């Protein structure tokens, strides 16, 4: 019987581990650049709650079928990826990468261990297999080294993609159209270059917030760029329903009215619900007419596919393991890959608690020595331990934020929920305005002049709302309802409305307006009303009632909203009077603040 054969290659890097790890631990990107084949994955739940991951692909003349084992890793330290083959020349194949500091740089050790399944496999391992892998992977490591050191922009070279006929001309046309719209912000050319040249792993889910971070531009500019690129036909949008555990999209639809109320994650073997504020994400991909993408996986698991997971290690029943791990203080969740209990902790930075799993529980045990994570499997089955940061996906443009932006409302008015459908929004800041004494205004200047004045004032308010990353949800007579994700930006918009209203009035040929403004934030329900995406609930009612308390020329906001730290910081520079009133529809008196302006 053939024995496993191992080969190890040592790579020196002139950058520290924290710069090398994101490049070489991005196994999907690495495998694509190494020209490993895309593969299909079939996920089969087992009676104990675990999942069997079977993959198949063609590599040259071979049809390969294998069981994909969950990848083991400690973020920033090492990973181990193994496959057990059911069909093909190999019986097993494992890749292990260890990264350690080395002076001001780092040292990587990459080990491949393979076992032949037959005579052909044995011949492969005796001849070109390892040398071919050495040349391929060492070349990629050298490219990653240069990228980390700033000597090249991209970590790996890839073959230029084959674009459809006429795609280059259409890309140029789209860039010009996007920039002419005012939403391009000088970034359309960069986006076109991304679509034209990037690896497929960068294009299957284009995240505007990630582009903003990588390009070092304001988030709103990157978001508006992607919105306009969709309208122009450079991108297509997608609503991703992310699994709350692995945080990978398990349902993808092209419009809100197709959004399911929940989904099943075969990888985690759990059912989960949608949450507009957390796991419904708006992302993008190239329009197929400009760049078509392959179907399949380059790597199902991987440290950079789920970067919130800091430790991901499989233990046999009764086993324990002590691991070196560099974790930063913060909120963590202790769980297993398999469905079951979980334990949330707030870790202050002292010894990290041992993660102890039994058949019924996952719990935090005694603190481990500093710089270590201890795992103990007291259950009767193999378990994959997971230590994850609880912060949600930092680069996710969640549905509540996307739909509260004016550019989204302007460009995608057809993106609405199904009639009768409703989705909870955890927190939203709502701003109501109205005109004081509008009836007298109409009598004084006449209906036609008043109509034009009201339309001009809507445009005035809309510009301010958009500048503060909000959206006008609707107009109601002379009033508007605007929505903001950030309550401080909502208040800043309200303040600007009142401070600049005199300048607006000075341009109106003697006619002028007096503006009433009310603000409140809290949970709401997103619904479709009158063919537009709207909001419903007590938060909406409170904001409307507070606007009624405005005397004109002031801003009224709830005491609850004023308690927000950023809102409080903004209020510190203003004179605010505390008041209380009984509001229609509310059982108890409501406390609010009134900001008055000279």
- Mention every residue, 6+ apart, whose C-beta is less than 8 A from residue 414: 255
Q: How far apart are CA 536 and CA 213, in angstroms?
A: 34
Q: How far apart are CA 539 and CA 521, in angstroms?
A: 6
Q: What is the structure's pLDDT at 483?
A: 96
When mean pLDDT is compared across 188-202, 237-251, 434-448, 576-590, the lowest value belongs to 434-448
In tens, the pLDDT along 471-501 reads 999 999 899 999 999 999 999 999 999 999 9
Mean pLDDT of 319-341: 94
Query: b or e along 483-511 (b: 16 or more beta carbons within 10 Å of the residue's beta carbon)?
Result: bbbbbbbbbbbbbbbbeebeebbeebeee
Alpha carbon distances (Å) from 276 to 242, 282, 289, 524: 11, 10, 30, 11
Q: What is the structure's pLDDT at 587?
A: 84
In tens, the pLDDT along 113-157 reads 999 999 999 999 999 999 999 999 999 999 999 999 999 989 999
In tens, the pLDDT along 346-373 reads 999 999 999 999 999 999 999 999 999 9
Which H/E stretch holds residue 571? helix 565-571
Beta bridge partners of 111: 8, 96
Show the tokens assigned to 341. 């209990």
Number of H helices, E strands in the chain: 16, 29
Instruction: Domains for the chain: give ranges and CATH numbers.
Output: 5-148 (3.30.530.20), 167-286 (no CATH), 309-389 (no CATH), 413-596 (3.30.70.1230)
Q: What is the structure's pLDDT at 64?
A: 93
In tens, the pLDDT along 178-223 reads 999 999 999 999 999 999 999 999 999 999 999 999 999 999 999 9
Alpha carbon distances (Å) from 510 to 436, 498, 513: 17, 18, 10
For residue 3, pLDDT over 60 is answered with yes
**pLDDT tier, 563 (very low <50, low <70, confident <90, very high otherwise):** very high
Tell me which residue has tokens 């122009």: 232
Q: What is the structure's pLDDT at 449?
A: 79
- Taking alpha carbons only, the member of 112, 129, 183, 139 closest to residue 30 is 139
In tens, the pLDDT along 76-117 reads 999 999 999 999 999 999 999 999 999 999 999 999 999 999
Q: How far apart are CA 377 and CA 218, in angstroms?
A: 46
Q: What is the structure's pLDDT at 1?
A: 56
In tens, the pLDDT along 243-270 reads 988 888 889 999 999 999 999 988 888 8
Average predicted confidence (pLDDT) for the chain:
92
- Taking alpha carbons only, the member of 216, 238, 244 closest to residue 226 is 238
Written as one string, the DSSP assignment of 269-282 is TEEEE--TTTTEEE
For residue 407, pLDDT over 70 is answered with yes
CA 373-374-379 angle, to 5 degrees, is: 140
**pLDDT tier, 225 (very low <50, low <70, confident <90, very high otherwise):** very high
């Amino acid at each position: 019987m053939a024995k496993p054969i191992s080969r190890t290659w040592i790579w020196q890097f002139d950058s520290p581990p924290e710069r090398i790890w994101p490049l070489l631990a991005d196994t999907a990107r690495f495998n694509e650049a190494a020209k490993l084949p895309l593969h299909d994955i079939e996920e089969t739940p087992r009676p104990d709650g675990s999942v069997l991951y079977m993959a198949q692909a063609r590599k040259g003349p071979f049809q390969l079928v294998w069981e994909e084992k969950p990848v083991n890793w400690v973020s920033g330290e090492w990973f181990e990826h193994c496959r057990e083959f059911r069909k093909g020349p190999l019986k097993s194949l494992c890749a292990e990468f260890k990264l350690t500091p080395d002076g001001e740089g780092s040292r990587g050790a990459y080990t491949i261990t393979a076992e032949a399944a037959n005579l052909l496999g044995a011949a492969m391992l005796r001849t070109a297999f390892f040398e071919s892998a050495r040349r391929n992977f060492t070349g990629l490591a050298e490219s990653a080294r240069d990228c980390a050191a700033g000597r090249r922009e991209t970590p790996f070279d890839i073959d230029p993609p084959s674009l459809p006929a006429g795609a280059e001309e259409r890309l140029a046309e789209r860039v010009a159209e996007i920039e002419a719209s005012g939403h391009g912000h000088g970034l359309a050319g960069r986006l076109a270059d991304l679509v034209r040249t990037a690896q497929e792993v960068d294009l299957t889910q284009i995240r505007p917030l990630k582009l903003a971070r990588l390009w070092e531009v304001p988030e709103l500019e990157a978001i508006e760029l992607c919105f306009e690129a969709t309208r122009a036909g450079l991108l297509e949008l997608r609503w991703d329903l992310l699994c709350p555990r692995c945080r990978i999209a398990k349902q993808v639809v092209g419009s809100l009215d197709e959004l399911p109320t929940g989904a099943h994650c075969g990888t985690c073997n759990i059912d989960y619900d949608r949450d507009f504020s957390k796991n419904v994400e708006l992302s993008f991909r190239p329009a197929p007419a400009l760049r078509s993408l392959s179907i399949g996986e380059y790597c199902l698991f991987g440290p950079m596919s789920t970067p919130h997971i800091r430790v991901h290690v499989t233990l046999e029943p009764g086993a324990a393991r002590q691991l070196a791990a560099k974790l930063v203080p913060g909120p963590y969740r202790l769980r297993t890959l398999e469905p079951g209990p979980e334990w949330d902790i707030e870790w202050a930075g002292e010894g990290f608690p041992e993660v102890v799993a039994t058949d019924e529980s996952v719990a935090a045990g005694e603190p481990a020595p500093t710089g270590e994570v201890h795992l103990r499997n007291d259950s009767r089955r193999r378990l994959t331990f997971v230590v994850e940061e609880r912060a949600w996906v930092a680069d996710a443009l969640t549905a509540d934020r996307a739909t509260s932006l004016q550019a989204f409302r302007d460009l995608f008015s057809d993106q609405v929920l199904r009639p009768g459908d409703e989705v909870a929004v955890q927190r939203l800041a709502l701003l109501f305005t109205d005109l004081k004494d509008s009836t007298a205004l109409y009598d004084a200047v006449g209906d036609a002049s008043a109509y034009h004045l009201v339309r001009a004032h809507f445009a005035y308010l809309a510009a301010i709302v958009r500048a503060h990353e909000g959206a006008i949800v609707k107009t109601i007579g002379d009033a508007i309802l605007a929505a903001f994700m950030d309550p401080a930006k909502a208040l800043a918009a309200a303040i600007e409305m009142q401070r600049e209203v005199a300048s607006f009035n000075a341009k109106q040929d003697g006619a002028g307006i007096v503006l009433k403004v009310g603000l409140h934030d809290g949970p709401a329900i997103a619904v479709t009303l009158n063919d537009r995406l709207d909001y419903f609930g007590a938060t909406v009612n409170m904001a409307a009632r507070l606007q009624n308390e405005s005397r004109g020329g002031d801003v009224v906001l709830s005491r609850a909203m004023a308690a927000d730290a950023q809102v409080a910081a903004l209020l510190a520079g203003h004179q605010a009077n505390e008041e209380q009133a009984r509001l229609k529809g509310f059982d108890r008196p409501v406390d609010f603040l009134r900001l008055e302006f000279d």
